[in-house]
Amino acid sequence: MRIIDHVISGGAKGLTGSGRSHRIWNPSTGEVQAEVALGDAALLDHAVQIAKKVQPGWAATNPQRRARVMFAYKQLIEENMQELAELLASEHGKVVDDAKGDVQRGLEVIEYACGIPQVLKGEYTQGAGPGIDVYSMRQPIGIGAGITPFNFPAMIPMWMFGMAIAAGNAFILKPSERDPSVPVRLAELFLEAGAPEGLLQVVHGDKEMVDAILDHPDIAGVSFVGSSDIAHYVSKRGAAAGKRVQAMGGAKNHGVVMPDADLDMVVNDLAGAAFGSAGERCMALPVVVPVGEDTADRLREKLIPAINALRIGVSNDPEAHYGPVVTPEHKARIEGWIDTAEKEGAEVVIDGRGFSLQGHEKGFFVGPTLLDRVTTDMESYREEIFGPVLQIVRAKDFEEALRLPSEHQYGNGVAIFTRNGHAAREFAHRVNVGMVGINVPIPVPVAYHSFGGWKRSGFGDIDQYGTEGLRFWTKTKKVTQRWPDGGGDGSNAFVIPTMG
């Protein structure tokens, strides 16, 4: 059995961690393919002590030299894209093309981090007072940590450590124990790019390791992505320990479809946004809100053949639209939510329960599911399903459609489909959600902007990557200076030093 170990500089020096392990599935076959060693607080402290030694020298390295390492890293990721995508697909289950997108979106943040000399520049005011100048500088916080989810094992780690390390910090990554091989490979490539040994380390673990990270006094900042309940826990416990914390939680993104929308475009967008990556995305679009009964009926009529045409396959099937979900437990959870929706009164238009792929009957596959007549009092609407399930919630008018995402407990992303510029502008201005798409189903901002949701989708005041990411991983020092005229004898003579 292949064992996936920690990536700690110089090894663990006799530390064996917790002695526990977690099995890694191949979701396409339903077989266990590896195990990952789970660490403990002693293992984490070992990694932290190494990070404390290497971080000051890295912070003292000028920004352009740090940028050269990021450029070299970018090139290595591009050269190893196929390997990373296939490795990712084999553990997560998403198809290879989708896995390449996972790597690519993380790579875009690495590209942004290559410009660290520009984005690190501070501010300067000459003559703020009589003979007084004021300037600011951004300095690293020290040691950062990232706790990342299973659904984007390449993208989200790079969102975190790319900005943190470019800004001068050391970084300790705790990836999901469900698919840890790609984060390990990313750390190996970073060392190959010329980064100092110990600058980026990977520790594996479960709640025991998470708590160790949140409690360790030498870790200054923690970035987290996962479910909302755990995000809230991470936010509270990390803040109580005096850390800077950003914690991104769950989502229930809505897509409002106005009567004037291009329904063919909407259906094509929904096929990818609701079912791509088997719906295991916090920016998936699992709720569609047609405005008016006529719009709802027309949309449903077009959705049914489009959803039925989706091809489900193993992760390396180039013709598949999506692959299996990550574990047997998650498959059961998704099908349980479909059961719940049906019991609550939702109409099961297309039923993905019990789906079996010929030749891969033990794989963790869930067929695409379409639910209609979903209402806001249903638990299946209020909670995140995180699977290939699309729910239709019918709204009678624009105001009701606006209220649905605005009043939902989650506020990650939302989209509106319309040809009416006034309706789009009004919606974007008034909706109580952190990221808005106008005729864009998955409104994830590009790397030089920032990512973050509202309400129970995000805890903490600073978003991820872009200028917000730079703010999170740095602290601002403000300097007010005055240089008196003359020499030390009190005269007013202006003396220019000479070389002697």
- Is 195:76 a contact under the CB 8 Å cutoff? no
Can 114 be counted among the known catalytic residues? no
- Is 437:266 a contact under the CB 8 Å cutoff? no
Neighbour count for residue 368 (Cβ, 10 Å): 25
Torsional sign, CA 58, 111, 466, 105: negative
Give burial (CB, 10 Å; 0-12/13-18/19+) of 316.
middle
Interatomic CA distance for residues 68 and 62, integer angstroms: 10
Alpha helices in 371-497 (DSSP H): 379-382, 398-407, 421-430, 466-472
Pick the catalytic residue: 154, 184, 271, 282?
Answer: 282
236-245 own/partner pairs: CB under 8 Å, 24+ apart: 237/211, 238/214, 241/214, 241/215, 241/217, 242/217, 243/214, 243/219, 244/141, 244/220, 244/472, 245/221, 245/459, 245/460
Give the single-character DSSP code of 83.
H
Rounded to the nearest 10 degrees, what angle do helices 96-113 and 81-92 cross at? Answer: 120
- Is 415:253 a contact under the CB 8 Å cutoff? yes
Strands (E), 209-276: 221-225, 244-248, 254-257
Q: In the chain, count H helices and then E strands.
A: 16, 21
SS3 for 474-487 is EEEEEEEEECCCCC
User: Considering just the CA atoms, what is the radius of gyration of the chain in Å?
Assistant: 25
Q: Quick one: how far is CA 476 from the chain centroid?
A: 25
- Is 41:19 a contact under the CB 8 Å cutoff? no
Encoding tokens for residue 270? 């929904």
Neighbour count for residue 154 (Cβ, 10 Å): 30
62: three-class secondary structure by DSSP: coil
26: three-class secondary structure by DSSP: strand
- Is 382:50 a contact under the CB 8 Å cutoff? no
To 10 degrees, the CA torsion angle through 297, 301, 303, 305?
A: 170
Name residue, tokens 């990650």.
412
- Residues with catalytic function: 282
